[in-house]
Structures are given as C-alpha cells and as structure tokens.
Structure 1
Amino acid sequence: MQRNPNRMPHRDLKMSMSKALATLTAQIGQEIGVSDWITVDQAMIDQFAATTHDDQWIHVDPDRAAHDTPYGGTIAHGFLTLSLASRFAYDCFPVLCGQSMSINYGFDRLRFVSPVCAGQRVRGRFTLLNAARRKPQELLRTCELCIEIDGQTAPALVAEWLGLILFDT
C-alpha cells in the first residue's frame, strides 16, 4: 500500500492559519483524494462483531446468511464500513504546515446506501465541501465522503463528515 506522501508534517514552514484557510478554501468543490482499496473479509467482520457485541447472524453466520438473505452470504456492519473512513482519510488528507492534529467532529448527514458483502473491496472518495475558522487555532473542514464498493455503481455509504484541524499555538 502506498502512503500519502503529503502525510508528513512540515513544521519548520509554520503555515499561518490564514494561509491554511486560503489553501483549503481554494479546494472547495474539488476532490481531495481517493484512498487505497481495503478488502472487508469475514475475519474483519467477525472481529468487529466481537468488539461491538453485535453478533447478528447476517454478519457472523455465513451458512445461514447464504440461505436466508438476498446477499448470498454475510454482510459487513454498516458501522464497520463507516469506521474504515479514518483509514481512508489517512490515505487522502495531507497534513497542513503547522497542523498539530485533526479530530473527528461528527457527521451532518450519513446514509448507508448498499451493503458490503464479505470479501468485497471498499475505498473512500473525499470532496471538500467547506472550510472555516472555528477558533483562533482551529479550522472546521466539511467533506463529502463516499465509500465505494469495487465493481458496483451504488456506494456503500455517503456522508458529510466534519473534522477539526488544530494548529500549533
């Protein structure tokens, strides 16, 4: 897997908040990046089920799911698919000069459009919708996230994802 070369912070350059905001503002409406593919296999689904205590049979019983669902087998938890967004963001978002961290702030909109069947590959596609100063050392970034399923036209999910970008003081 190739890592995003822009992930390395350049703290020696110390981009000002104004310049960071101007950089992001210029990208509004543009695709920020497309992540690497990740295969959602049964082992991943089982681990998620164990961690979240959500062991509904449509996720963890391949034999029953093959016979009693229209999917031909088990499907990933919607929240498992959503949780991969952090990995996808790591692939796509560059660290801005002077940025100390980014924090998940939540979602304004989230829809689970299509189930992800065990064995399918998914990836994240990000489009910048907005960027605004929230506090003196903090920017609020709003992105459209589309988690795509390899070989399908309908996505697994679409969301408006809010993230805070914090800068060194």
Structure 2
Amino acid sequence: MIIINSFNEYKSLEGQVLGVSDWHRIDQNQIDRFAEATLDYQWIHVDKDKAENEGPFKSTIAHGYLTLSMIPYLWKQIADVRNVKMEINYGIENLKFGQPVPVNSDVQLKATVKSVTDLKGTVKAVVEAKLLIKDQLKPAYTGDVVFLYHFY
C-alpha cells in the first residue's frame, strides 16, 4: 500500500501505476444483497437456474453497478491518503464495461494516477481504475475515477 500525505506527494505519482488491491470473490450472496439494496432483481443476476439454462453466460453475473460500488473498498487497499479533512467521490469519467463478472469470480482493482491538480485548495485526483478478473485478459471495466481531497 502506498501512503500519500500531501498534494505534492500525490502530484509526484502522476503517470504511475500505484498497484493492485487484494483479490475479492463476488459470490451469489453479495449479488443477492446488492439486488435487494438496489431493487434490481433482473434474472441474470439472481435466478441461478434460469441463468445456467437460458443465459448467455451459463451462470449468474454481478451487477455492473455492484462492481463499480466496490471501488472505494478496493482503492483503500491500494492507497492510504492521509492528512485530509474530507475526501469526496466526485465521479467516474470514460467508463467502459469490458465484460461481465460471473458469480464466484475473483476481482481486483488496478489503479494508475492520471492527473493531480490543485484547484485553489481542493485537490482533484483522476485515477484510472481497471477491475481485473482472475484468469481473464479483458477487464470487467476501465474508467477514470475522480476524487476531491481537502488536505490540512
């Protein structure tokens, strides 16, 4: 894990791959809980029998937004940004889903710092986030996550 204490330290990381998170298995229980939380019960996510017998992936798959919602959890395994009064998830730019994440897949986040800008005291960091699927060449998604930080 990398520790970032200031704007200058963050800025010095531009263009660098910061690292990858631990592997995380997305199981059916997590998919079902996400479906319940978001009221998205599409059969391809929650109906194991139908997904196996009629679905194009022969199993249930994780919701795309479930995989996106894991960014903060996985990001915290890669970078510890310290000395901040506040951190805001500002947005995701240029997001592309590359392929679905089948149930019981192991995923990990790969993070690369694209840019760090001081906007009159608010630090805007753009981090390329790729969600990798174990034993797959193509990522589940790639997008630029935008964080805003207010350092002390």
Question: If the TM-score is normalised by the length of the shorter chain, which range does it land in?
Answer: over 0.9
User: 2:92 matched to which residue of 1?
Assistant: 107
Listed as ranges, the gaps of 5+ residues in structure 1 are 8-14
Q: 1:149 to 1:143 in 2, by over 3 A?
A: same
Deviations 1:119-165 (A, max 9, x none): 001110000000001232x2000010000001100000100110011
**Aligned pair count?**
152
Q: Pairwise mapping of residues 116-155 of structure 1 onto structure 2 (< 5 A)?
A: 116-136=101-121, 138-155=122-139
**In 2, Cα distance between the equivalents of 1:34 and 1:143?**
12
Query: Would you say the 8 A contact 2:2–2:18 is kept in 1?
Result: no
Secondary structure in 1 aligned to 2:80? coil
Q: Which of 36, 45, 50 lines up with 1:50 in the alignment?
A: 36
Which is higher, the Rg of structure 1 or of structure 2?
1
Q: 2: distance between equivalents of 1:166 and 1:100?
A: 5
Report the identity percentage.
35
Q: Which 4+ stretches in 1 moved above 3 angstroms?
A: 4-7
Question: How far, CA to CA, are the matches of 2:99 and 2:145 in structure 1?
Answer: 18
CA deviation after TM superposition for structure 1 residue 101, in Å: 2.9
TM-score by length of 2: 0.94
TM score, norm. by length of structure 1: 0.85
CA RMSD of aligned residues (A): 1.5
The 8 Å contact of residues 7 and 151 in structure 2, kept in 1 or not, is answered as no
35-44 or 99-108, larger mean C-alpha shift? 99-108
Q: Secondary structure at the match of 1:116?
A: coil
Q: Which has the higher strand share?
A: 2
Tell me by how many angstroms 1:5 deviates.
7.6
Consecutive unaligned residues of structure 2, counting only runs of 5 or more, are none
